[in-house]
Amino acid sequence: MLRFQHSSLINAPVEIVWQFHDRKDILALLTPPWQPVKVIRREGGLEVGAITEFRLFLGPIPVRWLAKHIECQPNRLFTDKQVEGPMQFWVHRHQFCQENEQTRLTDSIDYEIPGGFLTEILLGWWVESRLKEMFRYRHQVTKRECEQLASSN
């Protein structure tokens, strides 16, 4: 099992950062423009049972990725789990922690690449680099948008 984690400090209250993640257009905002991903649907917001469906393109091959929210504690965390997709296993936890007047946003992902240990050795570095790139982008957008919202309040 592999683990990825990315954390950043946002100069905004946790309620603003949480509400930002509950926007209807959040997936379009947080998907890096260079990634070959299309959002198909998002149903249910952040609550348990919410569904998100993407279409990824691995080269010319379209792959369906369906995730379901399995945990939600408003203004604290929500967790989604891959139901169908390219990974053997994928659980993504989004945590929101108040630090003074700021919010610590932490994304943690536990995952397994199909093919077992050998595939993880061969492709793990590549998956890790894609995740770093994606979450750096997501956190930059979140920080910019939430800090702008906080300063206008």
Q: List, in sequence order, the alpha helices (H) in 1-153.
A: 14-21, 26-30, 116-152
Q: In what order do the strands lie in the sheet with 89-99?
A: 2-10, 102-112, 89-99, 77-84, 61-73, 51-58, 37-43
How far CA 137 is from CA of 35, 72, 89, 124, in Å, comes to 11, 24, 23, 20
Model pTM score: 0.93
CATH number of the domain where residue 114 is located: 3.30.530.20
Instruction: Please count the structural domains in the chain.
Output: 1
Range of the domain at 59: 2-152
How far is 117 from 113, CA to CA, in rounded Å? 8
Mean pLDDT by runs of 10 across the 153 residues of the chain is: 96 97 93 90 95 90 96 98 96 97 97 90 91 97 97 83
